[in-house]
A and B are shown apart, each in its own frame.
Chain A
Amino acid sequence: MLELGTFSGRTCSGWTRRQMLTVGALNLAGVSLAARPLASRAVGAESSRSPKNCIFIYLSGGPSHFETFDPKPNALDYVRGPYGAISTSQPGVQYCELLPRIARLADKIAVVRSLTHANAGHDSTAMATGFDQNKTLIGSVVGKLQPSQTTMPPFVNIGSRRGDGTREQTPLDIAGGGSFGAPYEPLVVRDPTGKKVDLGDFSLQPGFAADRFGRRNELLAAVDGARKTLDATAGVAQVDENYRRAIDLLTSARVREAFDVGRESDALRMRYGANFFGQSCLMARRLIEAGTRFVQVKWYDCIAFDAWDVHGAELPGMSRMEQQLCPRFDQGFSALVEDLIDRGLYDSTLLVVCGEFGRTPQINKFGARDHWPYCFSGVLAGAGVPAGIVGSSDTKGAYPSSRGVRPEEFAATIYQRLGIDVINDLRVRPFIKDATPIPELAG
C-alpha cells in the first residue's frame, strides 16, 4: 500500500517500512512505499472488449434506500419516513426529494432497487468485493486482469481506510489486493480536500532537487547489489518494482498534477462541493482523465459520525440525511456525472454507487432506520449502461419483489462493463462465484 497524506503504510511480504526505506541507503523523502509493481507485465490475454475506467463510490455505513433511490411515498407511516418523493427526468421514476440534482440526471443512470444479501453487519465486504469473506477489492481484480499501460497508479482509493491506530478496523479496510497480494492494494489518498492534507507530501520536499532525485534513481543499481545480499524472496523483487513505481510517481509532473484538485477552478471545485466527498469525486475524475483505471471513493472514514449509518440514537439522527449526507452526495455525484459528460469521459467511465446494505423498512423509536441487507439500492451509470430501473422492492421496501440481485451479480455486471468477459475469462470466476451479469445492464 502506498499512502498519501499519512505515512503509516504497511508493507508487503513481512518487510517493515523502515527496512524498505533503508535498503541501499535510499530515503525517499516524504513518501511511504509499499508493494506496487509496475502493472504493465503480461498477465494473460485481455478480453476483446474495450476496457473502461471505473469510479466506485462506496457510501460507508449503509445508505437508506428509502431516503435515496427507492422512496415509498404511499407506504404506511412507519415505512414512508419523513421525506417525500420527487419526479425525475426518467418518466415514471421517483427518487427521494433529498436528491433533486441526481433526479434531474435519472435519464442517464441505472438504479438497481433489488440488491439483496444476508449480512447486516458493517463487516460485510460483499458489495465492495462481490461476496462476504472475499478480501479482494473489485479494483484490485481489475488491476490484475487488465494491467495499466500508463505511469498512473491503476487503482486509487480516496478516503481513509481505518485501522490507523485511532479507529476500529473492519474487514472492508483489510480488503485490498486479497489473493493477488499487496502489489494490487490500492494507492490510498486519505483526504483530497487540500484543507487537511498537504499535497506537497506527494511531491518532492523543498530543497530536494529533482536532479538529486535523479541521482538517487541511479542508485537503484546499488540497490540491486544490496538486494542480492538479502533473502531472495518474491517480496524483494517487489520492492525493486515499488521503488521504480515510486520514482515514476514522484518525477512525473503529470501524475502529481492529477492528484492536485487545486488546479481546478474554484467554480468547478464548488460545483462538486467544498467538502470531502465533493473533492473526492473531483479528484476521481482527474485521476481517470490522467489514466488511472479504477478509483474507489469511500465516504469519509468514521461510521459513527459522518457515514450513512443513521440509526438516530447517539448522534443527530435522520436529520443528518437532510443536513449532511444527501446534500453532499447529491451535489458531488451530480457534478461528477455532468463533468464526465462535458469532458467526453462518460461513455468510457463506469460509475458505481452502493453501500454495504440498506436500512430497515420500519423507522425506529429514534426516528431513523437500522441495518437492512435484504433489499436495497445501488447505481450503475456511464460506460454505456442503459438508464432506468432494474428490479423492484415490495411495497415496504423490505424484500425484492422482482429480479433480486446478489452482490456477486452486481460485481459480475461491473466486471463485464469494464471489459472483462465474465463468462469466458475464468480468472474472474473466483470473485463472482457462479454469478452472471445483470442482463439488462451487462451490455
Chain B
Amino acid sequence: MVRFWCCASSCVWLSLAGFVAPVWAESRPLLVAVSSYRNRPMHPEILFFKVDSGGAVQPAGGIPAVPKRSDHHPALSADGRFCAFASEAEGQPCVVLLWSLLEKKLVDLPGLNDSPNAQAAPAISATGDVLVLEAWAKPSLPGRWDLLRYDVPAKKSSPLALNQTRRDERGATLSGDGQTLVFTVAGDSPRPTDLALVNLSSGEIDPLAEANSPDVETDPALSANGRWLAFISDRNAKETGPDVFLFDRTSRSLADLSGLNSIGNEQAPCLSPDGRYIAFVTERLDGAGERDIALFDRERGVLIPLPGLNSPLDDMDPALTLAIGE
C-alpha cells in the first residue's frame, strides 16, 4: 500500500522565514493535470486525474477541448480550484486562460490577452489570485520574452521590474503566496539559460548560484511552500541526458533524487505543495507512449506506477497539487 500525504480539505498558509507552509488536516488524493494528445493527435488538451493513496488513478475530467485549439502548460493552484493554461487556436497567437475546477468554466480575465503576440506558460499562486506568464514582444514590456504579472481579483496586469530588454525571461513558477518567483534567463551572457529567483515584494534577485551550472537549466518548478525548487539541467547530458534536479532553498544545496532519473530525457518537473512528490515527463522504453508522466515519491525514493494515466500518444506538461474535496 502506498501511503501518500497528510493534507486538508482546507488549508492555512503560514509564512515562515520566507516559506509558506501548508497545514493539512485530512487526506486528499493528488490531482494531476496533463496536456495530452491521446484524443486529438493534432491538438493536445488538458486532462485531470486523481491519484489516491493506494496509487489508483481515476480520470477527473478535463478542460473541454475546442476544435483546432491546442491547450498545454497547465498550472494548478495549490488549493486545487484553478488551472491556468496556454491555449493556441489555429492562426492565432497563444493566449493564457484560467479554468475554474469548481465551476467548470473559464474565469474572465479582462486585459490579460490584449497583446498581439504570443503569451504562454502561466504560473499560478496557491489560491489562484496571481498569475505570471511569459509574453513575446508585448508592447508594454521591454522586448523579446518577458514576464507579466496578472492580479486575478483586481483584473489587472503589471509588468515586472526584472524584465530586461536584451534578455529573455521565461518559464515562471510561483510559490503559493505568489511572492517568490523563479524563472529562466537567457541572453546577453556567454552562459546558456540559467535560473533566477526574485522576491516580488522586495524586488531582490537571487541568482541561485548553487543551483545553476555552466550548462542549461530550464523548467523551474517551486513547491507551494516555496522551499523546494525542481528544475531540468543538462549538466549530465553526455551520460544521462537532461535530468531532474531538486534544490533545497533552506540548505541551499541539491537534494538527492536517486531513483528518479533515467539515461533518457526527463522534462517538465512539478512538485506537490509540500515538495514530497515530483511529477515529470520522461521517455522510457517501458512507457505507454514516447512521452509519459512519471511520479516520484521523494520520501521513499521510488517511482509510483500510474496505471491508466499515460497513453500511447504524448502526455506532457504535468501539474500537481491536492484535489479539492468532493
Contacts and interface: CB of A to CB of B under 8 A. Distances in A.
Given A77-B143, A100-B216, A275-B283, A366 B94 contact: yes
7 contacts: A82-B145, A82-B168, A97-B193, A101-B238, A274-B290, A317-B94, A366-B94
A367 B193 contact: no
Interface string B183-214: 00011011111000000000000000000000
A270 B70 CA distance: 29
Interface in B281-301: 283-285, 287, 289-291
B117 A195 contact: no
Interface in A282-340: 302, 304-305, 312-317, 319, 322-324, 327-328, 330-331
A144 B143 CA distance: 54
Contact of B88 (A276, A313, A328, A331): A313
B263 A82 contact: no
Contacts of A328: 265
B267 A327 contact: yes
Given A82-B145, A83-B193, A86-B192, A270 B262 contact: yes
A219 to B, nearest CB: 40
Contact of B187 (A84, A193, A324, A330): A84
Contacts of A369: none
Contact of B263 (A100, A196, A270, A363): A270
B284 A366 contact: no
B68 A314 contact: yes
Residue from A82, A101, A302 whose CB has the most chain B CB atoms within 10 Å: A82
A270 B264 contact: yes
Contacts of B90: 313-314
A269 B314 CA distance: 19
B43 interface: yes
B91 interface: yes
B71 to A, nearest CB: 10
The 7 closest A-B pairs by CB, nearest first: A367-B136, A97-B192, A367-B118, A275-B290, A314-B90, A274-B283, A82-B168
B144 interface: yes
B117 A367 contact: yes
Nearest to A97: B192
Given A84-B192, A331-B265, 15 more contacts: A73-B187, A77-B143, A86-B215, A274-B285, A275-B290, A302-B41, A312-B118, A315-B43, A315-B88, A316-B86, A324-B291, A330-B237, A365-B137, A367-B136, A367-B145
Contacts of A324: 291, 314
Contacts of A83: 186, 192-193
Contacts of A86: 192, 215-216
Contacts of B285: 266, 269-270, 274
Interface string A163-200: 00000000000000000000000000000010110000
Contact of B117 (A266, A273, A331, A366): A366
Contacts of A267: 263
Interface of B: 37, 41-44, 68, 70, 72-73, 86, 88-94, 116-118, 120-121, 136-137, 143-145, 165-166, 168, 170, 186-187, 189-193, 215-216, 218, 234, 237-238, 241-242, 262-265, 267-268, 283-285, 287, 289-291, 312, 314, 316
A270 B90 CA distance: 35
Contacts of B289: 195
Contacts of A196: 312
Contact of B118 (A73, A305, A317): A317
A316 B118 contact: no
Contacts of B190: 87
A104 interface: yes
A80 interface: yes
Interface of A: 73, 77-78, 80, 82-87, 97-98, 100-101, 104, 193, 195-196, 266-267, 269-271, 273-276, 302, 304-305, 312-317, 319, 322-324, 327-328, 330-331, 363, 365-367
Contacts of B186: 82-84, 97
B24 to A, nearest CB: 33
Nearest to B191: A84
A99 to B, nearest CB: 10
Given A83-B186, A327-B267, A316 B44 contact: yes
A275 B187 CA distance: 31
A102 B192 CA distance: 15
Contacts of B92: 313
A100 B121 contact: no
Contacts of A101: 234, 237-238, 241
Contacts of B165: 77
Q: Is the interface of A mostly helix, strand, loop or mixed?
A: loop
Contact of B241 (A305, A327, A363): A327
Nearest to A322: B218
A318 to B, nearest CB: 9
Contacts of B189: 84
A365 B93 contact: yes
Given A270-B284, A315-B70, A80 B187 contact: yes
A71 B187 CA distance: 12
A274 B264 contact: yes
A104 B312 contact: no
B117 A365 contact: yes
A367 B94 contact: yes
A266 to B, nearest CB: 6
Contacts of B168: 82
A271 B263 contact: yes
Contacts of A87: 190
A315 B262 CA distance: 28
A309 to B, nearest CB: 13
Nearest to B317: A323
A313 B264 CA distance: 29
B193 A77 contact: no
A312 B70 CA distance: 11
Contacts of B267: 323, 327
Residue from B215, B262, B285 whose CB has the most chain A CB atoms within 10 Å: B285
Contacts of B137: 77-78, 363, 365, 367
A269 B262 CA distance: 12
A330 B41 CA distance: 24
Contacts of B287: 274
A202 to B, nearest CB: 20
Residue from A87, A196, A316, A363 whose CB has the most chain B CB atoms within 10 Å: A316
B234 A100 contact: yes
Contacts of B284: 270, 274
Nearest to B43: A315
A80 B168 CA distance: 10
B218 A313 contact: no
Nearest to A82: B168
A101 B241 CA distance: 8
Contacts of B265: 273, 327-328, 331
B215 A100 contact: yes
Nearest to B189: A84
